[in-house]
Amino acid sequence: MVKNFLNDEAGFIVSAELILVSTILVIGLIVGLVELQASILHELNDLGEAIGSLNQSYSYAGTVTTKGVHNITTAGSAYQDLSDVNCCDCNDGASLYCTNPSIKEGSGS
């Protein structure tokens, strides 16, 4: 009985095939997750650009109402939304930094 057990190699091929198939599946899963991360990043970048390009300017005129001898006035207000060139309103893709890199003093030639 021990001799039959030691000479039995029936499960070896199945184990090798299982390791090969699982390795291929894990590699494919990693590549798929990287592509999923890249596509989600691009979509969120598009959403951020869309929100950043909304014009938030507003204005409303003041009113003057006369009730008998009294004048009732409401002051108007206005706000103009300008793009912040130096404060990360840039739409240059999925970058984490919008400012140009600075060169440290005394580094190199």
Is residue 73 a contact partner of residue 63, using CB atoms and an 8 Å limit?
yes
81-103 pLDDT per residue, tens: 776 655 555 555 545 545 555 56
Give percent of the chain above pLDDT 70: 70
Q: State how far the Cα of 100 lies from the Cα of 90, in Å rounded to an integer.
A: 12
The pLDDT value recorded for residue 41 is 92
Is residue 98 a contact partner of residue 92, using CB atoms and an 8 Å limit?
yes
Beta strands at 70-74 and 63-67: parallel, antiparallel or unpaired: antiparallel
pLDDT at 50 over 70: yes
Of the pLDDT bands very low, low, confident and very high (cuts 50, 70, 90), residue 59 is confident
